[in-house]
Amino acid sequence: MSRKWSDLSRGQQRAVVIAGTVQIALATAAWVDLARRPAEEVNGSKAMWAAIIAINFVGPVAYFARGRRTPLMSDLESLDDIELDLE
């Protein structure tokens, strides 16, 4: 049984629009991050993650949780050399 858009209440319509917007935003952010991130900083192949990101909600969340490698300690230690002028 399929429902028409007009059969949904205003609240249900709003929830669908919000959920869709969140899904698109998550997927877009994940694809942009994946495109900009070097292959060495990705767990697995970039092509695999690009396909996984397309899975509603689960894909982008999985990419952000498991697809990206954390920086090495040596990379973080090089940040000690940067001086910030906060005044």
Structural domain boundaries in the chain: 7-81
Q: Of 3, 64, 4, nearest to 29 (Cα)?
A: 64
Task: Report pLDDT for 48.
Answer: 98
Q: What is the pLDDT of residues 35-50, one digit of tens each?
A: 999 999 999 999 999 9
Task: Report pLDDT for 76.
Answer: 59
Annotate 11-43 with DSSP letters as a single string.
HHHHHHHHHHHHHHHHHHHHHHHHHHS-GGGBS
pLDDT band of residue 84 (cuts 50, 70, 90) is low
pLDDT tops 70 at residue 79: no
Task: Report pLDDT for 78.
Answer: 60
pLDDT band of residue 2 (cuts 50, 70, 90) is confident
